[in-house]
Amino acid sequence: MARTRMVVVGGDAAGMSAATQARRRRPAEELEIVAFERGRHTSYSACGLPYYAGDVVKDWRDLVARTPEQFAEQDIEVRTRHEVDHIDLEARRARVRDLDADRTVEEPWDLLVVATGSEPLRPPIDGIDLPGVYGLSVLQDGIELRRAVDAGPERAVIVGGGYIGLEAAEALVNRGVPTALVEAGPQVMNRIDPDMGELVSDAVRDIGVELYLEEKVEAIEGDEGVRAVRTAGRTLDADLVVLGLGTRPAVGLAEASGIRLGQSGAIAVNPRMQTPHDGVWAAGDCVEAQHLVSGKPVSYHLGTIANKQGRICGVNIGGGYATFPGVLGTAVSKVCAVEVARTGLSEAELGELGLEWEQAAIESTTRAGYFPGTEPMRTKVLAERRSGRLLGAQIVGRDGSAKRIDVFATAIWNGMAVEEMVNLDLSYAPPFSPVWDPVLIAARKAAEQVDRTLGQYL
């Protein structure tokens, strides 16, 4: 019997999870697996790149979970520095460019997994391609940024205040580089509510970053290398610039090959990670998923999602049955000592959907108030008006606060109302939390607010 040939495009979280799962279920005599990766590395932690640039992680090799040689031991062939530049859906062939040898080959497939990930937004600003301007996406970007930081830049500017921009700011500050951050919106971390975002802006200033809000970058100046970043209001000297303007799904190849995109602009897949094209699967940052609160298709770029989708894709290709239920956008990050977390929807997102909500925000501490090391944290809860269904939660606080978001994520996942959360049997001991955990206090306050408003309707 002829072997089935599985071709994977993209050798990181989603693609290699799919390959590994498929291999676990189908032996090499039955299923040949070949992955093409245009970079030099496979299965690396992009999430660790800011920590490598900041010298928290000393060796980039520690960010690699599995090398091509390790995949080969599992009978998974990985060809790095190979870029797929066209997919023929009819003939079931991929055109692959060997970037080192500079030649192109046609590769047949029976099953194709598109796992091309996402790419940093690079708006058409003058000077954006100058040497010294870095985006952070693949491992090589992190290696190059680290090299630039090691060279001792005099001043850095971060463009964009999303979590990647903030993590890069932390890295540069920790390496002693004077750093400014320019953000076009009124706050950093625009996916959380303004009152919470303001706390993060304060945290950014507190670590010594010059923060310029509501300023759009007009040009990056320089000739041989970057010299300055110009906004409408000022010119900021810089010999190193990091772009943190957000990411978009890397769907150029899919789109040009006729693979259907969904409403969000990412590849449309069913819950088993199949595209509508026979034999074509897709997973990770390049696909869209259903948001479990809004019901809408979204394109979120998170390693948590990419790994799960890759696994599900591989289970199905391997002959099993698994489905991806959807996402809440649960995410955590930190700027030096300040942790930030969110799950579900923000007030702005709820407003766009036409939903009505109640909100409660509380100040509390991470441990018992008297316990050494206790730190402040603010927890905000959004619950649907009348029903009290939990719709979203956000946390900004110090050491030990952010991971509490997972309790809220679990509650939203299970469709709980804030009233039902009030008596959840959460753990307590003074080194870990106050006797009323901040999650419980915030849920109780939100439930009381839902009750009060309900009283007005009756």
Ligand X SMILES: Cc1cc2nc3c(=O)[nH]c(=O)nc-3n(C[C@H](O)[C@H](O)[C@H](O)COP(=O)(O)OP(=O)(O)OC[C@H]3O[C@@H](n4cnc5c(N)ncnc54)[C@H](O)[C@@H]3O)c2cc1C
Judged by CB under 6 A, which stretch of 13-21, 123-131, 343-351, 425-433 contacts ligand X? 13-21
Could you tell me if 305 and 327 are in contact, meaning their C-beta atoms sit under 8 angstroms apart? yes
Instruction: Verify binding: residue 137, ligand X, rule CB under 6 A.
Output: yes
Among residues 285, 283, 270, which one has the least CA distance to residue 323? Answer: 270
- Position among 6, 57, 84, 236 found at the interface with ligand X (CB under 6 A): 84
Give the residue with the Cβ less far from ligand X, 167 or 347.
Answer: 167
Instruction: Verify binding: residue 36, ligand X, rule CB under 6 A.
Output: yes
d(CA 298, CA 385): 24
Does 47 qualify as catalytic in the annotation?
yes
Could you tell me if 320 and 26 are in contact, meaning their C-beta atoms sit under 8 angstroms apart? no
Instruction: Verify binding: residue 409, ligand X, rule CB under 6 A.
Output: no
Among residues 306, 350, 228, which one has the least CA distance to residue 46? Answer: 306
Where in 270-329 is the site for ligand X (CB under 6 A)?
284-285, 301-304, 306
User: Rounded to the nearest whole angstrom, what is the least distance from the CB of residue 333 to ligand X in the complex?
Assistant: 6
Give the residue with the Cβ less far from ligand X, 174 or 304.
Answer: 304
Using alpha carbons only, give the angle 263, 267, 270 rounded to the nearest 5 degrees: 90
Judged by CB under 6 A, which stretch of 45-53, 68-76, 373-381, 393-401 contacts ligand X? 45-53
Residue written as token pair 């029903």: 387
d(CA 120, CA 348): 24
Judged by CB under 6 A, which stretch of 7-15, 221-229, 267-275, 311-319 contacts ligand X? 7-15
End-to-end Cα distance, the chain: 71
User: Rounded to the nearest whole angstrom, what is the least distance from the CB of residue 403 to ligand X in the complex?
Assistant: 13
Binding mask 139-178 for ligand X (x = CB under 6 A): -------------------------x--------------
- Position among 250, 340, 396, 443 found at the interface with ligand X (CB under 6 A): 250
Q: Where are the alpha helices (DSSP H) in 225-286?
A: 252-256
d(CA 133, CA 153): 12
Which positions ≥6 away from 314 have C-beta within 8 Å? 17, 18, 19, 20, 21, 22, 23, 24, 25
- Position among 136, 335, 383, 402 found at the interface with ligand X (CB under 6 A): 136
Give the residue with the Cβ less far from ligand X, 23 or 301.
Answer: 301
DSSP-based three-state secondary structure for 53? helix
The residues that bridge with 8 in the sheet, in sequence order, are: 35, 113
Instruction: Verify binding: residue 14, ligand X, rule CB under 6 A.
Output: yes
Which positions ≥6 away from 150 have C-beta within 8 Å? none
Instruction: Verify binding: residue 114, ligand X, rule CB under 6 A.
Output: no
- Residues contributing to the site for ligand X (CB under 6 A): 9-15, 36-39, 46-47, 49-50, 83-84, 115-118, 136-138, 164, 250, 253, 284-285, 301-304, 306
Instruction: Kindly list the catalytic residues.
Output: 47
